[in-house]
Amino acid sequence: MSKSSRAPAARSRAGGPLTGTARAPGDKSISHRSMIFGAMASGTTTVTGLLEGDDIMATAGAMRAFGADITRGDDGLWTVKGVGNAGLSEPAGEIDCGNAGTGVRLIMGAASAYPITATYIGDASLSVRPMGRVVNPLREMGVTAKGAPGDRLPMTITGTPDLKPLRYAPPQASAQVKSAILLAGLGAKGVTEVREAHKTRDHTENMLRAFGCPVDTLDDGDGQIVRLTGPAPLTGTHVIVPGDPSSAAFLIVAALIVPGSDIIIENVMMNPTRTGLFETLTEMGGYIQADNFKTSGGEVIADIRVRHSKLHGITVPPRRAPSMIDEYPVLCMAAAVASGETVMEGIEELRVKESDRIAATVAILQSAGVAVRETKTGMIVTGSPAPRGGGFVTTHHDHRIAMSALILGLACKQPMEIDDAAMIATSFPEFFSMMQQLGADIKVTSV
């Protein structure tokens, strides 16, 4: 990542402490599901607190193309009039999912039980991500799927009303794969079962129940078995989207590594399948205190207070990876200023995200003068209290890589710069304004 002659798209630098209160943006996972489930359901679904990022707008557009009526009121209330018994209709054109990996994989499953053909496309980043992990079990259930080499987008899938139920054990821990199979199973006749070796986030199970579909979950060692019986109709409901812990992670790490910081982040979802990062940062010595607990839509929500802390390296248990897989890049920014080594293994899933996030994160750290070693399934970071910084980061169109690099810059001797800030809007459109409100010297420098 050598600096080019091109002006940076955004820059961050060390400054004063972060202080004040911020409200976490709506959870991305639940926002996707509210649009998809609402579109499939009978009746009307209303949604408050929706994350209005590019990824969610792509999913909303896709479900409109399948026949749902989706509108936004001036007060921010979203209304989804579902297709119900009429079923999803064949779209007139291609379904453009932009950068939304969750959106495209869940929609593929949702559309599988209908006699329709749809072609899914995405941006450059999404087009290189593997879809075989989803379409292969869907093929076993009876769909026809043909994609670009390596089962990548563009992908054309033809569903069937004679979908077969499936009992499936995913070879890798993936809530997206589990969710796609369960959504397809809504239209299959009989029991669809997913057996997970390690538990993944359970938003699909929680939301299916909220939409009126019984779902059984059984503990199975470190994993679980999830079952539903189809055909199972969904009924519209009201969804309150809690704050996204994956977005809150950037604010939390920033406050931990910037001296003198003391912030409160409101409305953060505390689902135990999503809080692995909070547990890890606490083990590293971070001051993270949750308070004001409440429950909404089956999810526990809390306000989180974070103070600057002296962090130390730890070995992160590989079994924790499913509960924090998206947060490893920003965890590495905390590890960069921690004393000693932070060892992260069993995270090879990061190699097939929006970018190869292991390689991209290693490159961020190296550009900032932080000692890091890449392994086949992870990273080992040796921290320093005040990294050199000064890196120019190629983000590979990956929003989490972009935000992670900017967070690191807040604790470095020299600024950190990134080549592209546009994709941050896919998941966290308020990132720059929220960080600036808390006192961070982070700004867009070119568009």
pLDDT digits (tens, 9 = 90+) for 349-396: 899 787 899 999 999 999 999 999 999 899 999 999 889 999 999 999
Question: With 0-12 CB in 10 A as exposed, 13-18 as middle and 19+ as buried, what is 7?
Answer: exposed
Instruction: Report the chain's terminal Cα–Cα distance, integer Å.
Output: 20
Residue 203 CA neighbour count, 13 Å, CB half = 29
Q: Are residues 429 and 315 in the same domain?
A: yes
- Within a domain: residue 261? yes
Which helix (H) or strand (E) is 263 found in, with range? Answer: strand 262-269
Q: Which CATH number do you get for residue 38? A: 3.65.10.10
Nearest Cα neighbor of 344 from 421, 255, 277 is 277
Q: Are residues 216 and 275 in the same domain?
A: no
Q: Are residues 113 and 225 in the same domain?
A: yes
- The confidence score (pLDDT) of residue 235 equals 97
- The confidence score (pLDDT) of residue 6 equals 54
pLDDT tens, position by position, 344-356: 999 998 997 878 9
Residue with the two structure tokens 């932080």? 370
Q: Which of 4-13, 174-183, 187-196, 438-447 has the lowest mean pLDDT?
A: 4-13
DSSP string, 36-76: HHHHHSBSEEEEES---SHHHHHHHHHHHHTT-EEEE-TTS
- The confidence score (pLDDT) of residue 2 equals 38
Percent of the chain's residues with pLDDT above 90: 90
- Are 288 and 281 a contacting pair, CB within 8 Å? yes
Rounded CA separation 381/275 (Å): 21
Q: Catalytic: 69?
A: no
Rounded CA separation 97/153 (Å): 10
Q: Which amino acid is at 403?
A: M
> In a 3-state reduction of DSSP, which class is residue 244?
coil
Give the total residue count for the chain.
Answer: 447
317: DSSP letter: P
Q: Are residues 93 and 202 in the same domain?
A: yes
- Within a domain: residue 33? yes
- Within a domain: residue 5? no
Q: Are residues 187 and 168 in the same domain?
A: yes
Q: Are residues 178 and 315 in the same domain?
A: no
- Return mean pLDDT, the chain: 94
Q: Are residues 236 and 266 in the same domain?
A: no
- Within a domain: residue 2? no
Token pair in block for residue 42: 């009978």
Residue with the two structure tokens 């070796």? 197
- The confidence score (pLDDT) of residue 101 equals 92
Which one of 27, 55, 303, 326 is the catalytic residue? Answer: 326
Rounded CA separation 151/352 (Å): 13
- Within a domain: residue 100? yes
Rounded CA separation 347/349 (Å): 5
Q: Are residues 299 and 333 in the same domain?
A: yes
Among 240, 257, 287, the domain boundary falls at: 240
Which helix (H) or strand (E) is 316 found in, with range? Answer: strand 315-316
Nearest Cα neighbor of 160 from 100, 116, 196, 222 is 116
Percent of the chain's residues with pLDDT above 70: 98
pLDDT tens, position by position, 154-189: 999 999 999 999 999 999 889 999 999 999 999 999
- Within a domain: residue 1? no
Among 191, 220, 240, the domain boundary falls at: 240
Q: Which of 37-41, 305-309, 317-321, 402-406 has the lowest mean pLDDT?
A: 317-321
Q: Are residues 212 and 233 in the same domain?
A: yes
Q: Are residues 185 and 57 in the same domain?
A: yes
Question: With 0-12 CB in 10 A as exposed, 13-18 as middle and 19+ as buried, what is 74?
Answer: exposed
Q: Are residues 328 and 257 in the same domain?
A: yes
Residue with the two structure tokens 């002006």? 7
pLDDT surpassing 50 at residue 4: no
Boundaries of domain holding 327: 10-26+242-444
Among 193, 217, 240, the domain boundary falls at: 240
When computed from its CA atoms, the radius of gyration of the chain, rounded to whole angstroms, is 21
Q: What integer is the mean pLDDT of 215-233? A: 95
pLDDT tens, position by position, 77-136: 999 999 999 999 999 999 999 999 999 999 999 999 999 999 999 998 899 988 999 999
Domain count, the chain: 2
Q: Are residues 214 and 294 in the same domain?
A: no
Token pair in block for residue 351: 């190699």
- The confidence score (pLDDT) of residue 263 equals 98
- Within a domain: residue 4? no
- Within a domain: residue 3? no
Tell me whether strands 262-269 and 299-307 are parallel, antiparallel or unpaired.
antiparallel
